Structure 1
Amino acid sequence: MPDPIHAPRYTRDTWPIAAAMIQYPNILPDGRSVQDQAPEDWAATLADIVDAGFTELDPTDAWLRIADLAPARLDAFMGVVKGLGLTIPAISTARKNLIDPERGSEMVAYAHRVIDTAAGIGARSVSLGLFGGLTEAQKKALWFWTVQGESNPDDPDSYALAVARVRELGRHAEDVGIEIALEMYEDTYIGTADGTVRFVTDVGLPNVGINADLGNLIRLHRPVEHWLRMVEKTMPFARYWHVKNYMRTEDEATGLVVTAPTSLELGLINYRTAIRLALSYGFNSPFLCEHYGGDGISVSATNRNYLRTLLPRAPEAKP
């Protein structure tokens, strides 16, 4: 099986930078599920990705759970993907909490299917998490991250269960040549830089690392660690990386915090610095561009273009 940790080195021209599908809901206006759409309907949606200049796609299971497609339907979907000139370097799960008190075992079984599906279609990375669905209050808010969501339990048994389940999934992924990236998200065991590093260290597998989606944290309307400190702590463990950025303003006198989505180059996180540090530790995994608000696909395309300027040229290439 291929080894995701020792894959051929990418350059700025070959680095897989995928488009996320978070702009597209799983349930259509007429009540139908995207899971049940005809291939030509999938193609119509993915045409947006192609028109934005992407050559890579992460189907993102908030849009389509490709791991739950019947074999013939998965073949049909991959036919659409290939017909549009796209590839899938990675699959992200969203709000599939592996230790959910009611559905955790179901989420673990699903994650195993995602790993097998990723291996079967030639992807090399899977992003998993410990965060659950939005609360009703979050669904009503303009920006869901401004409202308190669910938290992982503060007890050692639940933590140990999370480590054990991720280790189980990591060993499966290792067997089929897949890397696991754990998505950082507030109020989970992987919701701070220190907590995330501790967690992946406790899991203790070389193919299990961090999806350092620090945008999930700097957007919070509460005190957060400085972005650079988080980068310095997490980059030695970086794997498949969701990248997005936010403006953040803090009023020290009143404690007021205001954030809003923006492009990679304009936001609080200096991605030039972050990526250089990641590369110094040997980072060689795909990226995912995602953006909330406005025309997220177009902003993601702008971010993709900026991102390529930060990545290394081929050895023979000249500036």
Structure 2
Amino acid sequence: MYLPFVLPCLLLKARNEPDVYETSDLPEDDQAEFDAEELTSTSVEHIIVNPNAAYDKFKDKRVGTKGLDFSDRIGKTKRTGYESGEYEMLGEGLGVKETPQQKYQRLLHEVQELTTEVEKIKTTVKESATEEKLTPVVLAKQLAALKQQLVASHLEKLLGPDAAINLTDPDGALAKRLLLQLEATKNSKGGSGGKTTGTPPDSSLVTYELHSRPEQDKFSQAAKVAELEKRLTELETAVRCDQDAQNPLSAGLQGACLMETVELLQAKVSALDLAVLDQVEARLQSVLGKVNEIAKHKASVEDADTQSKVHQLYETIQRWSPIASTLPELVQRLVTIKQLHEQGGRPAARSAKRT
């Protein structure tokens, strides 16, 4: 449809109406007319973008347009646009887990970048060396070396260049230097043979005066031991290590030193942990169940023993019942036989008296 034909049709339909060439904007309240269902729909993905973070991420970035051609000219050569490479690296914060192939391609790419950076560093080794001198680690190493040199020069000045200097034990080196000088002084006195000369003493020799008090050393050592015993007594008094047989916490602590006592108390306190208490309670429940089973078994064994004894007594009574019924007759017979024996014995006694 051509435009010259459309305009006359519109002019014919719109009659007796004012000509409106431009409309005014809607009020601000009406400008935000939108469908509320669209905001709550699950089909629409809502992305919160931080403008500052997005700007910082893409700052000073350029799109590589080398070898790209988006023209629609007809030609024999193939027009190419953006093409994806051999691999694709996932962006940060997408929440998508990399596949093994993507992870392999990413690692391969990083290895290639590392190789390229190493090659660049080889070409600029002088610049990198000058930069490394300014790092804090190198500066700290240089300060430590400088301090070591200062200590070495101080000891060398103090002990002499011929002394064996041990930087880890300067006091030992000083004592060794002292012994060497004493030995040299002793040899010089022995070589002189007691002859006195007017020559001044050699300025290279050093004279030392040793003041030793063995009694004072013993007294100081005894004082230190007494002070230590006093402090130990105060510590025991503060801790109150009284042996109480009724106290369950002091069980097994008799005769132990303070360190062992503290370790045992620490073990008992650690046993009061909630997790440990649950385990102890479970074990106590199992032990209580076993004790109840043993008590029931013991009661059943005692009942069985009593029943067996009662059964034996019953059998004995059952065997004695027929004998008990004939016992009175047997006793009566025995009494009668006794009387007969007595009567038969009387004539024999009389005849014996007569003879």
TM-score of the superposed pair, with normalisation by structure 1: 0.17
Larger gyration radius, structure 1 or structure 2: 2
Which has the larger share of strand?
A: 1
Higher helix share: 2
Q: Which has the higher contact order (CA 8 A, sep 6+)?
A: 1
